[in-house]
Structure 1
Amino acid sequence: MKLLKTISAALLGTAVALAAGTSAYAQATTKLRIQTHYAPETTSGKLLTELFENVEKMSNGEIDIEPFYSSSVVKSVETFDAAATGILDCDATGGGYQTGKNPAFQFVGDIMGGYETPAQQLSWLYYGGGREAAQSLYNKYGMQLVGWIVYGQESFASTKRIAGIEDLKDWKFRSPPGMETKIFEKLGATPIVMDFTEIFTALESGIIDGADASNIANNVGLGLYDIAKYANYPGFHSMPSDHLACNKAVWDAMPEHHRAIMETAVSDIALKSALIFEKRNAEAVAKLTAEGVTISQWSPEDLATFRAAAQATWPEFATTPEAKALVESHVAYLKQLGIVKE
């Protein structure tokens, strides 16, 4: 009888411990502060909101995300460092903002003149050896690349005609930092680097003639065509990879299933982003055409001129071992896809 009481007490103690453990486990164990440069009303902002909500649902509330939109904590270009130093936990902007840190970030942010579709670019990351090369770069700066979101080719917004190479002469436009400035300078334009959040005011005041902001649907969401009555579509010059990247120490401390949930959620939104923008961009073009915005499609000759200028600039910008390795990886994969000829 004494033995049965002892066993019963032990079992009861184990049950209580397990119940307590389960209760504690069910509580949020990962809290993430994530900043994006997108406004919540843009398509990309809404997709990120869906990503955050999916993460919380799939984790049964164990992952609690506090989002910050429109670069409301720090400037867009400062988001990466804010996450790396603990002011934030994760960065939902893009690697292209970090080219001043290492030009290698250009080739995980926006290779320019390279891939033609989101699927091609994503296939390099996940199946062309890109993820391993990119992860090494992110880890060097205390960050972990969780995943990419590639929404497709971007279009310009301009207060002046932007129908081909000739129109680039003396065209002042907002450019993100990095290789884009070199490419467009070669083609006669005047790129001006400024924060994403300053574009609307700069267009309105005439500081710039146009802007490389996002794709045509997001540009509509930002209100750029309320001022700029010229655009190009389909886009061609830029297909940036938005990223979700987190402080590596924070990432490493997360339970394995939390990390898996985050990676899965980003992959899901990456697919949805590529699909939804096919529809949103077409809707935006119809809307803008009806409103009198002039939309130009560049000629094959002008597109070839741009692509040649872009590809000639890749090696000029590959000035670090990490950048050279990424360019070599991209070129090898682009040749495999038949986009870059031998």
Structure 2
Amino acid sequence: MKSVLTGAAGAALLATTALAEPVTLRVQTHYATEHPTGQMLAQWSDDVSVMSGGDITVEMFYSSSVVATTETFDAAINGIVDCDATGGAYQTGKNPAFQFVGDIMGGYDTPWQQYSWLYYGGGYDAAQELYNAQNMQLIGWSIYGQESLSSSKPIAGFEDLKGWKFRSPPGMETEIFEKLGASPIVMDFTEIFTALETGIIDGADASGLYNNVGLGLYDIVKHATYPGFHSMPSDHLACNLDVWNGLTDQQRRIIDTAWQKVSFQIALSNELNNAQAAAELTEQGVTLYDWSSEDRAEFRKAAQAAWDDWGTRSPEAGKILESHKVYLRQLGLIE
């Protein structure tokens, strides 16, 4: 009887496995292979392959080698690649609501609070409607933590922002800092080093402290905010909806589970790397400014004015913003 049951179970397992056709997913990221996040994405690719018993192969395209970073989302929609591993903030031209899944600016203090909104605060369903309308499926986020402002001048509080010229990404950030008296200049990421070196800008919003060290920014400037407070962007994994729906439940579950592993490890490793970088920079004479809770609250108030404006720019933006606000109130971060 035991051998009969074992044989029946084995046959059922084989029958189930046979239903899953091997699949290759083509995924583009803007990170380079040697970047810490790029290395972790390679581990994610390997996890998916091993967990699926070779049933899923992830073909990674690093450093936006297929299309430009901002075009990755469209490339996935149009079948040039299958999945986009960049970030939603690049798609505000499609719908302003993507700002609130890319970088809410001045909202959450830690990656864990923001992850909590996505998975338990109603964020996933609210965001999924936005992605599905573009024939895309949001799988999940990766959040490496708060970004640091780097500067050739002290940047200890609001007074230091007056007339401060800095590299800013496009979008809501420029509006917030302009109202605070700063002079944001939108420029490509690759132009930051030269612009700082030549004095075109006083500082830059580039990345987190550890990543900024890798970029060589503190070879030029000797001031930075840490821990950061103004920006905590979320990268995403988003796949063509038809491709996603064509996978089996087992394949989808494997991809999602492996993504949650890598996304949380990115946040954990970045926390350690930032702490080590802060210690080393302090020894090297770089001054780090930890803004007070009062100053952080004031920045969040300034950011909220920009949130409310962006929330009027599309019904989806208003819906996702309201979801954030409800959760931020529960966390005591806004009134």
Say if 1:225 and 1:33 are closer, same or farther in 2 by CA, change over 3 A: farther
* 1:139 Cα deviation after fit: 1.0
The 8 Å contact of residues 162 and 230 in structure 1, kept in 2 or not, is answered as yes
Residue of structure 2 equivalent to 1:133: 126
Are positions 1:329 and 2:323 aligned together? yes
* Structure 2 residue identity aligned to 1:330: H
TM score, norm. by length of structure 1: 0.87
Residue of structure 2 equivalent to 1:173: 166
Residue of structure 2 equivalent to 1:212: 205
Q: Which runs of 5+ in 1 are unaligned?
A: 1-14
Q: Residues 280-327 of structure 1: CA distance to partner in whole angstroms, max 9, x if unpaired?
A: 110011122222222222233432321110012111111100000011
The 8 Å contact of residues 100 and 178 in structure 1, kept in 2 or not, is answered as no
Q: 1:237 and 1:155 mapped to 2: Cα distance?
A: 8
Are positions 1:58 and 2:51 aligned together? yes
* 1:115 Cα deviation after fit: 1.3
Say if 1:222 and 1:297 are closer, same or farther in 2 by CA, change over 3 A: same
3-state DSSP of counterpart to 2:94:
coil
Say if 1:183 and 1:147 are closer, same or farther in 2 by CA, change over 3 A: same
Rg larger for: 1
Query: How is 1:24-173 mapped onto 2 (pairs within 5 angstroms)?
Result: 29-173=22-166
Q: 2:186 and 2:95 mapped to 1: Cα distance?
A: 17
* 1:67 Cα deviation after fit: 1.7
Query: How is 1:261-280 mapped onto 2 (pairs within 5 angstroms)?
Result: 261-280=254-273
Say if 1:290 and 1:69 are closer, same or farther in 2 by CA, change over 3 A: farther
Q: Which runs of 5+ in 2 are unaligned?
A: 1-10
Say if 1:228 and 1:89 are closer, same or farther in 2 by CA, change over 3 A: farther
The 8 Å contact of residues 170 and 188 in structure 1, kept in 2 or not, is answered as yes
The 8 Å contact of residues 43 and 217 in structure 1, kept in 2 or not, is answered as no
* Structure 2 residue identity aligned to 1:307: R
* 1:201 Cα deviation after fit: 4.3
Q: 1:69 and 1:33 mapped to 2: Cα distance?
A: 11
* 1:145 Cα deviation after fit: 0.4
- Count residues in correspondence: 321
The 8 Å contact of residues 97 and 177 in structure 1, kept in 2 or not, is answered as no
Residue of structure 2 equivalent to 1:288: 281
Say if 1:152 and 1:91 are closer, same or farther in 2 by CA, change over 3 A: same
3-state DSSP of counterpart to 2:174:
helix
Q: Percent identity?
A: 64
3-state DSSP of counterpart to 1:32:
strand
The 8 Å contact of residues 152 and 240 in structure 1, kept in 2 or not, is answered as yes
* Structure 1 residue identity aligned to 2:207: S
The 8 Å contact of residues 174 and 193 in structure 1, kept in 2 or not, is answered as yes
- Per mean C-alpha deviation after superposition, the further-off stretch among 109-118 and 44-53 is 44-53
Q: 1:30 and 1:202 mapped to 2: Cα distance?
A: 45
Say if 1:76 and 1:211 are closer, same or farther in 2 by CA, change over 3 A: farther
